[in-house]
């Protein structure tokens, strides 16, 4: 026994293929995904069929609907030669057919496809456009789209779906971008209306024969994708672009990479979402610039950068993308480091304890990294009280130090304090930055209270308010 899946085309009975007509007439039983289709109205009266429209009302979701349809088809197809007719072409925009094809082999039921003219051909004919480069997506589950490629959106059968599609597309296209609403393509009711994207769901009706055509954006106006950023950066760097951008090198831009990262961190600390968004964009620009420069010399491009980090994330998270199990975040970190060593071809014990230590991190961050590695071989304090005791000794030594001895003494103390911060679960760099911010907030508050630049405050009063205040939270003194 078997199932033949028949495409009913976009509407008129005359648009059916001869093979489709023969398949409909030869089946022992004929099932329709829906009776709401122009072709159904023109089917010969002698044809007896059963439609699944009642399941639309009783199913909790489209997934449940399609699963139920497939269950019925496989059960009947195991006992008879049946036909399942769907609008358009069975392999274009038909989720139930995809599920049927996936499950039929296990059920031992053969499935044959009889094609038909799809909504895509009908819509393109109505629009008078070619399909040399085209995206076709489901309006009920709009995936990532490339705005520089023409787009057809199907299943826009009601205003709420159109609203969801509009909101999704507004992330990539400007509000005034044109959209062509194609209704009843290839039928006597065919109609094409041009609207602005922002007004897509206003003042019009939608039905099961509605398709949207979204013309492509020019590459220079693709502002919402990585491909768009790469294109703009390439234009800046290449002939006819920006002289300043064109003369930059990896070395000349290094300081900007660091500066933009710090500015993004500052915006994050200030909980300013608008500024944080902008600063992350500036960081991303630096990545794109360096990738473009590397592409110009044939080393790598932005796609290689993205592929490398995505591959690394999957590889280093076997507990998410593989079968590894972990107990907690600490075990995740241990696995990460072990995988990292294997990737770099390192032995369990590297040639030097400090191989791979970052060279351009802030000094306090580097100090904590050093202490962490020393702790891994038992070469530093592993208890907070012991580290604090050593810090007190070093503080006394600093007080006694004179001349050239003071610098190394202070450095040793700071290195020990970095370990104290690590042992109590803190980040030394962030801890000091927060202390800096507290002092700045207190001084500015005192300046606002006592006059510009704190001119009415004596140094002693200011110092007492600031430094005594650092021993309390923000509701305390100062």
Q: Which of 186, 219, 252 is the last residue of a domain?
A: 219
Indicate whether 169 and 265 sit together in one domain: no
Question: What pLDDT tens digit does each residue of the chain (478 aa) get?
Answer: 899 999 999 988 999 999 999 999 999 999 999 999 999 999 999 999 999 999 998 999 999 999 999 999 999 999 999 999 999 999 998 999 999 999 999 999 999 999 999 999 999 999 999 888 899 999 998 888 999 999 999 999 999 999 999 999 999 999 999 999 999 999 989 999 999 999 999 999 999 999 999 999 999 999 999 999 999 999 999 999 999 999 999 999 999 998 999 899 989 988 999 999 999 999 999 999 999 999 999 999 999 999 999 999 999 999 999 999 999 999 999 999 889 878 877 544 557 888 878 777 888 889 999 998 898 888 998 899 999 999 999 999 999 999 999 999 999 999 999 999 999 988 898 888 888 888 888 888 887 877 655 455 667 767 776 776 554 444 443 3
Shared-domain flag, residues 160 and 194: yes
Of 383, 452, 464, the residue nearest 416 (C-alpha): 383
Q: Same domain, yes or no, for 103 and 144?
A: no
- List the structure tokens of 294: 């590397």
**CB neighbour class for 431 (10 Å; exposed up to 12, middle 13-18, buried from 19):** middle
For 446, the domain range is 430-469
The three-state (H, E, C) secondary structure of 344-404, written as one string: CCCCCCCCCCCCCCCCCCCHHHHHHHHHHHHHHCCCCCCCHHHHHHHHHHHHHHHHHCCHH
Pinpoint the alpha helices (H) of 157-300. 159-169, 226-237, 243-246, 250-269, 273-296
Residue 366 lies in a domain: no
Domain boundary among 69, 84, 117: 117
> Considering its fold, how many domains does the chain have in total?
4
Prediction pTM value: 0.76
Question: Which residues is 88 bridged to in the sheet?
Answer: 9
Supply 367's token pair: 């100090």
Q: Are residues 172 and 239 in the same domain?
A: no
Instruction: Give the CATH number for residue 252.
Output: 1.10.287.1080
Report if residue 355 sits inside a domain: no
Q: Quick one: which of 138, 191, 179 has its CA closest to 161?
A: 138
Q: Does 212 share its domain with 236?
A: no
């Amino acid at each position: 026994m078997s199932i033949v899946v028949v495409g009913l085309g976009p509407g008129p009975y005359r648009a059916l293929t001869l093979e489709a007509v023969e398949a409909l007439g030869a089946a022992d039983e004929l099932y329709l995904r829906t009776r709401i289709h122009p072709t159904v109205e023109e089917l010969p009266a002698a044809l007896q069929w059963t439609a699944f429209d009642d399941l639309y009302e009783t199913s909790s979701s489209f997934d449940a609907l399609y699963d139920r349809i497939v269950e019925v088809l496989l059960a009947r197809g195991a006992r008879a030669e049946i036909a399942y007719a769907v609008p358009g072409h069975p392999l274009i925009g038909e989720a139930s057919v995809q599920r049927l094809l996936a499950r039929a082999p296990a059920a031992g039921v053969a499935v044959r496809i009889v094609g038909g003219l799809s909504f895509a051909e009908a819509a393109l004919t109505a629009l008078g456009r070619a399909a040399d480069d085209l995206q076709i997506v489901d309006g009920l589950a709009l995936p990532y789209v490339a705005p520089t490629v023409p787009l057809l959106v199907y299943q826009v059968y009601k205003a709420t779906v159109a609203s969801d599609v509009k909101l999704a597309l507004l992330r990539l296209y400007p509000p005034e971008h044109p959209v062509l609403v194609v209704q009843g393509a290839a039928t006597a009711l065919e109609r094409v209306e041009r609207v602005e994207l922002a007004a897509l769901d206003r003042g019009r009706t939608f039905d099961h024969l509605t398709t949207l055509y979204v013309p492509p954006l020019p590459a220079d106006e693709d502002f919402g994708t990585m491909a768009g950023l790469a294109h703009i950066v390439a234009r800046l760097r290449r002939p006819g672009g920006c002289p300043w951008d064109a003369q930059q090198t990896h070395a000349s831009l290094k300081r900007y990479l660091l500066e933009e990262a710090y500015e993004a961190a500052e915006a994050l600390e200030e909980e300013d979402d608008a500024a944080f968004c902008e600063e992350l964009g500036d960081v991303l620009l630096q990545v794109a610039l360096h990738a473009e420069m590397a592409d110009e010399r044939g080393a790598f491009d932005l796609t290689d950068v993205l592929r490398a980090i995505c591959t690394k994330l999957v590889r280093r998270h076997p507990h998410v993308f593989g079968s590894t199990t972990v107990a907690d975040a600490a075990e995740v970190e241990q696995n990460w480091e072990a995988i990292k060593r294997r990737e770099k071809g390192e032995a369990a014990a590297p040639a030097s304890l400090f191989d791979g230590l970052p060279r351009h991190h802030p000094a306090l961050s580097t100090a904590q990294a050093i202490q962490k590695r020393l702790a891994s071989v038992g070469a530093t304090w592993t208890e907070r009280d012991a580290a604090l005791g050593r810090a007190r000794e070093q503080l006394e030594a600093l007080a006694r130090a004179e001349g050239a001895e003071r610098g190394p003494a202070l450095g040793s103390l700071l290195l020990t304090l970095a370990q104290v911060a690590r042992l109590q679960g803190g980040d030394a760099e962030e801890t000091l930055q927060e202390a800096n911010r507290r002092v700045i907030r207190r001084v500015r508050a005192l300046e606002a209270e006592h006059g510009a630049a704190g001119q009415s405050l004596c140094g002693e009063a200011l110092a007492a308010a600031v430094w005594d205040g650092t021993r309390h939270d923000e509701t305390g003194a100062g």
